[in-house]
């Protein structure tokens, strides 16, 4: 097969109709909640203080705006793809239709940084937050059992709480997407409500002097405050926005993907951008930015507000937020692997659909093991930055794919059309490359090494992989979903109009 042979859209849509063993249960509300659940989490609760203290000062709000612009431009491109190709796989599927098999593999491999490594990052933050919450009640997790052995400044052995939450979330996903969406919607409502309470109460305790200067002067080095600091801060705080694109990975589980996916993507992005700006303004107003270089900036801010009950509520909200982020990231990764397996790029086990729950359960269990190992033994500082740069790289490719698809298939039905093509896609590419540049050469090197490993795996496996692999994966998924498991299992492969 030609390395750059694309997958015809007709084949993608036919396969989605014929082999779609995933339930179509998600409406626009569930998709918006799914996006918010992914976005509000580790970034806003753990990274905002460090970014403000080392790069932006109170100007953190401008970094949020800059990052939101990059995400919004990419979101316009994601929405066209998601409604034009409403199948599982997100950026991987879009790359296959636009650039061909090789680039599809590259983006699929890159998405591991966003979803799996990102989920491990969040799990580590969840573990630290749980420790802080328990400490408030006089309970303590032994340090050796709650930290990586390579984490600086500690004597950790293994991060058991992080492993425990990855296992729990993975089992929820195996149970089924409807149950996962309901669980996620409850958590999203809880954490958004508590964040709003913090903003409302904290607004009265802000000190105007803390917002002066709004953008501290540069200290002579790129990224150390000033305008370059806002750029560096935007690249780092990008982690806070990771997740809105995960809505598109659930395309085959949306009831009306052409209408609901744009609502899910832009609805979640708009809600979170407003919350982030207000949150950052209150945080830097209550606590001077020079004091915010801590892993738990929210706890520091809450100590300045004379409402002890708020600290407990906010810590619970952080735990809920991180849990929902992990749910959406692991959901997105399993759906990307599901699509790659159906195309023969991964072993057939990743396309196995549970006969009763109709979820890619074996993929979920394998990811549970992989992500648990990362969460147990890798420091949070490394995986967080890798997640950000990997996600922005995916945004660049998806944006470029829109330009190619408009030229290659100009007459194709597009329920949602990205406006002002090629201006918007090119602007998306430029802004996201600018944000990637702000992360520095260390992270670029990590990205290049990661992609090189992926290419080595691809070319090593490719000579022995044939189209029969793809047919076997499809047949295997169908057999798994069609196995009689009661009335629900027996009807799982019914063709939908």
pLDDT digits (tens, 9 = 90+) for 360-373: 888 899 999 999 99
Report the pLDDT value the prediction gives residue 166, as an integer from 0 to 100. 95
Report the pLDDT value the prediction gives residue 365, as an integer from 0 to 100. 92
40-91 residue pLDDT tens: 766 787 778 888 998 999 999 999 999 989 988 988 888 888 777 766 556 7
Exposure string over 207-230, b if 16+ CB within 10 A, otherwise e: eeebbeeebbeeeeeebebbeebb
Distance from C-alpha of 435 to C-alpha of 241, rounded to nearest angstrom:
13
Average pLDDT over residues 333-354: 83
Dihedral, 358, 349, 328, 294 alpha carbons, nearest 10 = 150
Q: Which residues pair with 254 in a beta bridge?
A: 26
Distance from C-alpha of 237 to C-alpha of 259, rounded to nearest angstrom:
30
What percent of the chain is predicted at pLDDT more than 90? 25
Report the pLDDT value the prediction gives residue 251, as an integer from 0 to 100. 60
- pLDDT band at 29; cut points 50, 70, 90: confident
Report the pLDDT value the prediction gives residue 246, as an integer from 0 to 100. 62
Higher pLDDT, 356 or 66: 66
Report long-range pairs for 67-71 (Cβ below 8 Å, ≥24 apart): 67/234, 67/237, 67/238, 67/240, 67/241, 67/435, 68/241, 68/269, 68/273, 68/276, 69/431, 70/234, 70/238, 70/392, 70/395, 70/428, 70/431, 70/432, 70/434, 70/435, 71/241, 71/244, 71/269, 71/395
Using an 8 Å Cβ cutoff, are 113 and 390 in contact? yes
This prediction's pTM: 0.78
Distances (CA, A) of 425 to 73, 79, 234, 398: 7, 12, 20, 9
Q: Is the pLDDT of residue 187 over 90?
A: no
Q: Residue 39: which of 272, 314, 297, 323 has the closest Cα? A: 272
Report the pLDDT value the prediction gives residue 113, as an integer from 0 to 100. 84
Q: Is the pLDDT of residue 456 over 50?
A: yes
Average pLDDT over residues 458-472: 62
Instruction: Flag the least confident range among 106-110, 164-168, 321-325.
Output: 321-325
Exposure string over 465-497, b if 16+ CB within 10 A, otherwise e: eeeebbebbbebbbebbbeebeeebeebbeeee
Q: Is the pLDDT of residue 165 over 90?
A: yes
DSSP class per residue in 36-95: HHHHSSHIIIIIHHHHIIIIIGGGHHHHHHHHHHHHHHHHHHHHHHHHHS-STTTHHHHH
Report the pLDDT value the prediction gives residue 411, as an integer from 0 to 100. 83
Report the pLDDT value the prediction gives residue 327, as an integer from 0 to 100. 83
Place of tokens 């084949």: 11
- pLDDT band at 271; cut points 50, 70, 90: confident
Report the pLDDT value the prediction gives residue 177, as an integer from 0 to 100. 60
Distance from C-alpha of 303 to C-alpha of 278, rounded to nearest angstrom:
19
Q: Which two tokens stand for residue 411?
A: 């007459």
CATH architecture of 29-137+175-342+387-440: Up-down Bundle (1.20)
Instruction: Flag the least confident range among 115-124, 165-174, 240-249, 326-335.
Output: 240-249
| Backbone region of residue 421 per phi and psi (left: phi > 0; alpha: psi in -120 to 50; beta: other values) | beta
Within 10 Å of residue 43's Cβ, how many Cβ atoms? 28
Report the pLDDT value the prediction gives residue 480, as an integer from 0 to 100. 47
Within 10 Å of residue 154's Cβ, how many Cβ atoms? 14
pLDDT averaged over the chain?
80
Report the pLDDT value the prediction gives residue 432, as an integer from 0 to 100. 93
Distance from C-alpha of 446 to C-alpha of 402, rounded to nearest angstrom:
27
Phi, psi angle pair for 131, to nearest 5°: -60, -40
Distances (CA, A) of 353 to 328, 331, 401, 478: 18, 14, 30, 8
Distance from C-alpha of 482 to C-alpha of 494, rounded to nearest angstrom:
9
Distances (CA, A) of 432 to 140, 332, 404, 440: 41, 21, 18, 14
Using an 8 Å Cβ cutoff, are 302 and 133 in contact? no
Answer positive or negative: Cα dihedral of 247, 367, 96, 475. Answer: negative
Which helix or strand (DSSP H or E) is residue 426 part of?
helix 423-437
The reply to whether omega before 213 is within 30° of 0 (cis) is yes
Q: Residue 244: which of 231, 262, 228, 230 has the closest Cα? A: 262
């Amino acid at each position: 097969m030609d390395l750059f042979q694309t997958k015809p859209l007709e084949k993608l849509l036919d396969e989605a109709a014929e082999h779609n063993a995933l339930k179509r249960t998600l409406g626009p509300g569930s998709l918006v909640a799914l996006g918010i659940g992914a976005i509000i989490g580790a970034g806003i609760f753990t990274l905002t203080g460090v970014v403000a203290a080392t790069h932006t000062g109170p100007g953190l709000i401008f970094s949020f705006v800059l990052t939101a612009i990059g995400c919004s431009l990419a979101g316009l491109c994601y929405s066209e793809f998601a409604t034009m190709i409403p199948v599982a796989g997100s950026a991987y599927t879009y790359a296959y239709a636009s650039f061909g098999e090789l680039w599809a593999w590259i983006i699929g491999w890159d998405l591991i940084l966003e979803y799996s490594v990102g989920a491990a990052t969040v799990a580590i933050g969840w573990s630290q937050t749980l420790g802080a919450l328990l400490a408030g009640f006089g309970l303590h997790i032994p340090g050796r059992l709650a930290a990586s052995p390579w984490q600086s400044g500690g004597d950790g052995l293994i991060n058991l709480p992080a492993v425990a939450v990855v296992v729990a979330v993975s089992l929820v996903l195996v149970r089924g997407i409807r149950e996962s969406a309901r669980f996620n919607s409850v958590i999203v409502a809880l954490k958004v409500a508590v964040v709003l309470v913090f903003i409302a109460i904290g607004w009265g305790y802000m000190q105007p002097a803390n917002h002066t200067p709004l953008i501290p002067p540069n200290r002579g080095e790129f990224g150390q405050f000033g305008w370059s600091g806002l750029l560096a801060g935007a690249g780092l705080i990008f982690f806070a926005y990771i997740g809105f694109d995960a809505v598109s990975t659930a395309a085959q589980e949306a009831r009306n993907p052409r209408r609901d996916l744009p609502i899910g993507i832009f609805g979640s992005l708009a809600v979170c951008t407003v919350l982030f700006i207000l949150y950052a303004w209150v945080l830097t107003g209550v606590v001077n930015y020079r004091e915010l270089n801590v892993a738990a900036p929210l706890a520091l801010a809450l100590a300045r507000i004379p409402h002890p009950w708020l600290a407990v509520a906010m810590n619970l909200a952080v735990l809920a937020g991180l849990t929902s982020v992990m749910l959406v990231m692991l959901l997105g990764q399993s759906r990307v692997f599901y699509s790659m397996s159906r195309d023969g790029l991964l072993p057939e086990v990743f396309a196995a659909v549970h006969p009763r729950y109709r979820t890619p359960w074996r993929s979920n269990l394998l990811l549970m093991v992989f992500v648990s190992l990362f969460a147990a033994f890798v420091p949070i500082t490394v995986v967080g930055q890798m997640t950000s740069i990997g996600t922005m790289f995916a945004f660049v490719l998806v944006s470029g794919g829109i330009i190619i698809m408009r030229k290659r298939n100009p007459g194709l039905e597009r329920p949602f059309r990205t406006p002002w093509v090629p201006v918007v896609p090119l602007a998306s590419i430029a802004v996201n490359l600018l944000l990637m540049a702000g992360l520095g050469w260390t992270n670029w090197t990590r990205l290049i090494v990661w992609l090189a490993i992926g290419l080595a795996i691809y070319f090593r496996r490719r000579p022995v992989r044939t189209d029969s692999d793809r047919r076997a994966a499809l047949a295997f998924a169908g057999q798994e979903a069609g196995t009689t498991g009661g009335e629900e299992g027996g009807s799982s492969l019914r063709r939908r109009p």
